[in-house]
Structure formats: structure tokens, C-alpha cells
Amino acid sequence: MATRALRARVINPDATLLAALKRTHRVYNVLLRHMVELYLAMRKGKRGETARQIAEIMLKGAKNAASRIMEGLTAKEWPSKKPDAPNSWWTLVRHRRKEEGLLLDRHDSIGTVDGRTVSPQPKHGTRKKVSDPSRLHVSSKFWRWLCDDACEVLKSNQGQMDNWRSEYKEWRNVKSQWEKDHTEFMAFWNGLYERFRQDCERKRIEAQQAKGQMPTLRKRGGRQWGKRFERWHLWPEWIEHHPEIVAWRGQATAGDFKPVPPQEKDALRKRFKRQDKLSKALLDKLREYNPELAALDDLRRRYEDDHERFRRAPTLTLPDPEKHPRWMSLERDCLYKDFDPEKGTIKLSLVGENADGVWYMDWFDAQVQVDPRLKPSFRREVFRREGRLPPFIEGRVGRKLSQPAQRAEERQSGIAGAKLIFKQGAAHLTFTIIDQDCPSRVKPRKVADRRCPADNIFDPQGERIPLRVLAVDLGVRHIGGYAVAEGHFENGAWSVQHLTKGILTGPQVPERFCIDAHHRQLKRARRLRGKPVFDEESCVELQDHVTHMGEDRFKKAAHAIIELSRQHDVHTILFENLKGFVPSARDERWANRMRIKMLRRKTVEMVKQQAGEFGFLCNEKISPRLTSHVCSKCFRPGWRFSMKAKQSWIEKKPRAQCRDFGYPAWDRGGHLFRCPHCGYGVNADINAAGNLVAKFFGLWPDEQLERKDWVYRWKENGEPRRFAAKAEFEKWSNGVRTRKEAVQFPY
Ligand SMILES: [Zn+2]
């Protein structure tokens, strides 16, 4: 079982709807704050002893206990048929109603939002149209939801507090044990050291008064107390005036104290201009001369680090529509209904405003753009392909399937709830889906008389619909080149129609040269630092940064590939087989190679993981042999090259606008490709992606091609031909001056 959040965006909301969404969010958060404050007051005993007991029961109770209890505390008529039982909430509630009256009259007011008194709608019999701009009637379901959610806020805070308390207790025990074990140190800490601190404090106050400032007071137990003392640069000086400090455990006397010689001190003063560095150096020197002092100082540091203070208790942050929003949870039939993911329609219960400025709660129609995984038809298709049972699509957890499932967990899948979220001004609904586990890999079937990988997709007897594929050739510089093509099966063979080609880019994908720059920086830092000693950490933050950038890159790359597949609605995603991957000569370093390999491998893994969910097949077994050296249009050998000597200063324009890229230069790892036979010129990665498509559909004349030192032999119409690539290239490149002449494609 997996729980995942799938998003639906509210599309094209008109001004009324958007305002209503935001108003509802505001009303909800303001009222939630009122409720949390009310519960807090109850728990602290400000609303009477009975209310305190009730609040404690409420905070321990089940998920919807709070709304039932609040019903009893706030409704004028409360039918309680339950028998009296000691220490149960309804006995307490009955007692409270009889003795002290209602906690608050919910039909009068439960809070105010923007000058409007809010109360739940009266019962159906007494319902009347509101036309009072100073009142707002929310639905009773909204009110109940509010009671429960406020209770959840407090419960989560209470959980954190409980954790903190138990950890604090543990810390106190460890601390007292440590203090018992180090009595000599504690004598120093409470005696001499306390005097030093008081000196610091006195000096601070004197200094502030000398400047004519009001000295800041420190309260014991306040936030400032226990922080590392700021005047610690006085510490080395203070030690020199108190040589008795070395006698702290009776192993030395005040006479044994060795101060730093004046000439050494002067040298240090010249070397370190900054006060903090100087103090540190002085203290190091003192420690060097006095081993007793060093032992004491070590203990002091340890005590300060481990035992002086404990982290602050977690704070309860009250909900606020702007600063700390709590996104509103929506329950089906309560705050949303009639959700149709196929059509993208939904009805939401929102707070609207009419022309007279009256606020009212009503159902609003909204259009949503949903994640395809929310659509029943899509899910049915995916589930059929993966051999799972169709889940109950629209409903709560635990409802029965129309088709009985074999296991309980198969029955429990569907939409569990939704949340209203605002992100950069746009409203989103996030649906929580409880989903059955997807098989880790979706495998294509094996067909007996297959001629090419594309035959595996269909049953031999089944109908062969046009098969749409996305081929990706992962690159080193950018994410890679792609080609989207559609294969048609006619008369026992596939024919391919190319739909679109291009370079994969995603928004905010970290550039490879950025990662490389950081990598060089890292190498340089390590070289300067030298060999690390055992257990030493070096450049950890920078290393983490580089790793995270790499991760970010492959995740965004995978996302871009999935997005593209969804956009073109493809059946299969093709990758080259990475097993035989040999990086080009320029990437000689092992680490460099590994990095590229890792990113490729991880990108493919990530795509495979997500492809299953979206119902795409993945084929990463296509042989990369010669894909980047042969033309994807006529399947004859071509050239790979790059444009050298980009001389922007001649054209006096920014580099990106220059038309003259210099001259083409033979480069087996170059980023451009040109076919001399048919004149096709394109980015090399795009050409390779086109070749992957050809291999997938069995159009590639692999057995006819062989290469030796850039001399190709192949058979054309049964006739052997020979083509010396490099020599031909030299002849051609002499006449080419601009990049436009070299390749037509704008990459
Ligand atoms: Zn060609």
C-alpha cells in the first residue's frame, strides 16, 4: 500500500471563485485560531474545573471526539440519552451544562472574522435567508470539522512536548551523573568560573554605561541566559591574573603556572589582527605551557557543549491565514462533492459574498486540471496492464469494491481526502490517494517470432495500433536529445513517422558546468588542505552541495522526460543500453566518468520508477552501437564535429548572437552531426535519438555496417561501398566558414 498526494489545479477561476477560495481559507484559519485558543484556555482551567477535565479527555480522545464533545458544550438543546457513567465525558458535560451553563452559545457566535460574527447554521426548521452583513453562517459540517482540526493542532503540539519532556528528563539524569563524577571540575565551575562570568557581566555593564547606554539586563531563565558568554576573549587574560586556576584538582600549585612570554605574545598580536583569533591563539599557547589548564579547559568545553543547556521546548504556533496557514482539509460530501476527474469538475463549499456585502456559505462550481493518475479511465488502464484489480475509484477508504477483492488491502484504495492549498496565488487541491503497490517493473512480453523490440509490445494475434515512442539519448552537456516517433505496422513491417525532435531542457535544471565548477573548487580545496588525518572531515558542506546538485539534476531530468512522454502520450520510452558505455576521450578522469555514469544510470532508474505509475513501458536495452556516427535519415555514415574558434570580438556582439562560429573541426565527441550523403545536419544527440527509434522498429541495417579507423564499409543495394570519414570531412570543412553552413538545425 502506498499513500501519495496527487494534485489538481483549479483552472481559470473567475474573480468571484478565487475570492471565495481565499475568503474560505481566511475564515477557516481565523476561526481555527479562536478554537485553539478556547481549548488552551479550557486546558489551563480558565473556564472552570469541569472544562479543564473535559479538555483533557478531548485531547486524548479519538479523531472526531472533539466535535461531539463541543456539540454538548455549545448546543442549546442537547439530547443525551447515554446513561451516567463516572469519569466519562458526557457526565462531565451534563454537569457543566447544569451547574455553569453553556461554554458558549454556538448559534450566537463562535468567533469574528473581519467584523462579522460567525455561527453555524441553525437547524433546518428554523433556517432563514441571512441578509445581515455583520453575520456569517457556516455549515454545521464546517463547524464540526473546525472543532476536530483545532484539536489535532493541539494534539500534535502535545506529542512534540511529550517527546521533549522525556528527552529533557534523560538529559537531566545524564547531567547530574556527570556532575557527580567530576566534583573537582564542578567546584571550579561554581567558584572561580562563576566569578569570571560575574566579572564579564560587570565589565559589560560598565562599558555600556561609559558610552551613555542603558545597560541591558539579563534575566536568569530568560532567553539570553545560558548562551555562550560574549566576552570570552577576556578568558586568556583572566587566566593570567588568576594562576591559582591550575590547582583545580590539587596536582599543581599556583607557583607552577607558566604565563606566555611577552615576546611570543607580541608576535601573536602582530600575526592576528582580529580579536577573536588572537584570543584563540593566546589560549592555545597557555594550554601548551600548562597541561593542567588544558585538561580543565577541555572539561569546560565539554560541559558547555553537552550539559550547560538543553534545546528549547517546541512552541505552539497558532494558525494564521498569512503567516502560518493551516491548509484546510476537505472531506467528501462535506466540503466538496460531485468530483469528476474525467471532466475536471468539482463542487466546493465556499464562503461567497453578494453585492450587498453579505457573506454566505454555498456550493461553488469549479474547473480543475487533474493529475492523470486521478482519472478512473487512466487508472483502469494502468491497473489492467499491471495485472492489479481495479480499485474503487471514487470513495472513502474501506468501501466495498464492485468486484470483490481477494485481500483486504486491495479493497482499500481510492481517494482518502483533499486539501485546499494556495501556491503562488493559485489554488490547488491535493488529493490523498491510497494506492495498491505497483509492481517494481513493467516488463514487456516476449513474442516468439519477433524481429525487432517493437514486436514485443503487442500480442502476435492482437491488433497493432500505431505505436508512439520517445527515444532519449542522454547527453553530457545538456540532459539529452529526444525524438518522438510513431510506428505503423503494415504488411509485416514497421514504418516510422517522426513527429518531433529536440533537446531536452527543464526549468531550473542545474547546469553541468556549474556542477563541474564546484567539483574543481572541491578538488582545489582538498589539494590545499593536504592528506586528511584519520576521522577528519574535509569540505563536507561543499561535497554535500555538489552531491545535492547532481541529485537535483538527475531528478529534474527524469521529470522532464516523464513530462514530455505525457505531453505526447507515448507508449514506450527508449534509452540506449548503458552497459557498454565508454565515455569520450576528453573525460579521462575516473571520477569524472563515474559521475556521468551515475547520473545516467540514476536518471534511467528514476524514469523507470515513475514510468510504471504513468503506464509507460521503458526499454533501456537498445544497443548504442554506432548510433551517434550514422545518419538517422539514410543510415549511412556521417561526421561528428564541433565548431572551433568562436570569435565574438570580430562581430562585436554577445556570443549568443554571433552568427559566425568559426570553422568546423573533426571531433569524434563533437556535439554536431552532418551526413554528407543526404545533407542532414543536426545536433549529435538528436541524431542518436532518431537512431534509437530506428533500432527499436527494426529499420537499422546493423549487420551491413562495419567500421575500422573511421573507414566504413557497408552494402548498398547488394553492392559494397567504402567511405573514409575523416578524409572526406577534411575536404568538406575547408569550404565551410559558418555554423549555418555546417548544420541547419538550430542546436
Ligand atoms: Zn543521411
pLDDT at 267: 92
pLDDT at 398: 31
Angle at 35 between CA 30 and CA 40, to 5 degrees: 125
pLDDT at 276: 79
Q: Which residue has the higher pLDDT, 370 or 652?
A: 370
Q: CB within 5 A of ion ligand 1: which residues?
A: 631, 633-634, 675, 677-678, 680
CA dist 68 and 90 (Å) reads 10
CA of 739 to the centre of ligand 1 (A): 18
CA of 743 to the centre of ligand 1 (A): 13
CA of 482 to the centre of ligand 1 (A): 18
Strand partners, 682: 673
pLDDT at 440: 45
CA of 681 to the centre of ligand 1 (A): 9
Choose among 457, 534, 472, 381: nearest CA to 685.
472
CA of 737 to the centre of ligand 1 (A): 21
Q: Which of 132-136, 187-191, 550-554, 562-566 has the lowest mean pLDDT?
A: 132-136
User: Measured in whole angstroms, how far is the alpha carbon of residue 17 from the centre of its chain?
Assistant: 30
pLDDT at 687: 92
CA of 635 to the centre of ligand 1 (A): 6
Choose among 279, 208, 180: nearest CA to 239.
279
Q: What is the mean pLDDT of the chain?
A: 79
CA of 619 to the centre of ligand 1 (A): 26
pLDDT at 469: 92
User: Can you read off the three cell numbers belonging to residue 440?
Assistant: 517494481
pLDDT at 693: 93
User: Which H or E run contains 594?
Assistant: helix 590-614
The answer for residues whose C-beta is within 8 angstroms of residue 93's C-beta and 6 or more apart is 54, 69, 72, 73, 78, 80
CA of 587 to the centre of ligand 1 (A): 29
Q: Is 305 exposed, middle or buried (0-12, 13-18, 19+ CB in 10 A)?
A: exposed
- Alpha-helix residue ranges (DSSP H) falling in 535-587: 540-568
When pLDDT is cut at 50, 70 and 90, the band that residue 654 belongs to is low
CA dist 147 and 144 (Å) reads 5
pLDDT at 692: 92
pLDDT at 390: 47
Count of C-beta atoms within a 10 Å radius of residue 38: 22
Q: Is 393 exposed, middle or buried (0-12, 13-18, 19+ CB in 10 A)?
A: middle
Cα torsion at 68, 74, 79, 83 (round to 10°)? Answer: 60
Does residue 698 surpass a pLDDT of 50? yes
When pLDDT is cut at 50, 70 and 90, the band that residue 404 belongs to is very low
CA of 638 to the centre of ligand 1 (A): 7
Q: Sheet harboring 719-724: ordered strands across?
A: 706-708, 711-716, 719-724
Give me the sign of the Cα torsion angle 38, 41, 42, 43: positive
Strand partners, 574: 471, 619
Whether the model clears a pTM of 0.85, i.e. scores above it, the answer is no
CA of 506 to the centre of ligand 1 (A): 30
CA of 683 to the centre of ligand 1 (A): 14
CA of 421 to the centre of ligand 1 (A): 52
CA of 723 to the centre of ligand 1 (A): 13
pLDDT at 313: 86
CA of 434 to the centre of ligand 1 (A): 51
Q: Which of 448-452, 500-504, 561-565 has the lowest mean pLDDT?
A: 448-452
CA dist 630 and 255 (Å) reads 88
Q: DSSP string of 259-296?
A: PPPHHHHHHHHHH--SHHHHHHHHHHHHHHH-HHHHHH
CA of 676 to the centre of ligand 1 (A): 7
The answer for residues whose C-beta is within 8 angstroms of residue 644's C-beta and 6 or more apart is 662, 663, 664, 665
Fold of 453-622: Nucleotidyltransferase; domain 5 (3.30.420)
Q: What is the pLDDT of residues 208-259, one digit of tens each?
A: 889 888 877 666 555 555 444 456 678 888 888 888 888 888 888 888 888 8
Q: What is the pLDDT of residues 600-615, one digit of tens each?
A: 888 898 898 887 777 6
pLDDT at 409: 47
pLDDT at 472: 93
Give me the sign of the Cα torsion angle 702, 708, 710, 716: negative
CA of 501 to the centre of ligand 1 (A): 16
Average pLDDT, integer, range 151-155: 89
CA dist 585 and 234 (Å) reads 59
Please give, one letter per residue, the 3-state secondary structure of 239-258: HHHCHHHHHCCCCCCHHHCC
Q: What is the pLDDT of residues 128-143, one digit of tens each?
A: 556 777 888 888 888 8
- Alpha-helix residue ranges (DSSP H) falling in 387-429: 408-411
Average pLDDT, integer, range 528-532: 78
CA of 700 to the centre of ligand 1 (A): 13
Q: How many helices (H) and strands (E) does the chain have?
A: 20, 22
Q: What is the pLDDT of residues 459-500, one digit of tens each?
A: 556 667 788 899 998 877 778 899 999 988 888 788 898 889
The residue extents of the domains of the chain are: 13-159, 179-215+229-307, 341-435, 453-622, 639-742
The residue type found at 722 is R
Does residue 383 surpass a pLDDT of 80? no
Q: Which residue has the higher pLDDT, 373 or 737?
A: 373
Report which listed range, 249-253, 260-264, 354-358, is most confident.
Answer: 260-264
CA dist 683 and 503 (Å) reads 8
CA dist 715 and 694 (Å) reads 18
Give me the sign of the Cα torsion angle 272, 276, 279, 285: negative
CA of 628 to the centre of ligand 1 (A): 12
CA of 689 to the centre of ligand 1 (A): 15
CA of 505 to the centre of ligand 1 (A): 26
Angle between helices 49-60 and 89-100 (to 10 degrees): 150
CA of 495 to the centre of ligand 1 (A): 17
Q: DSSP string of 196-238?
A: HHHHHHHHHHHHHHHTTPPPPP--TTSSSTTSPPTTGGGHHHH
CA of 632 to the centre of ligand 1 (A): 7
Phi, psi of 415 (to 5 degrees): -85, 125
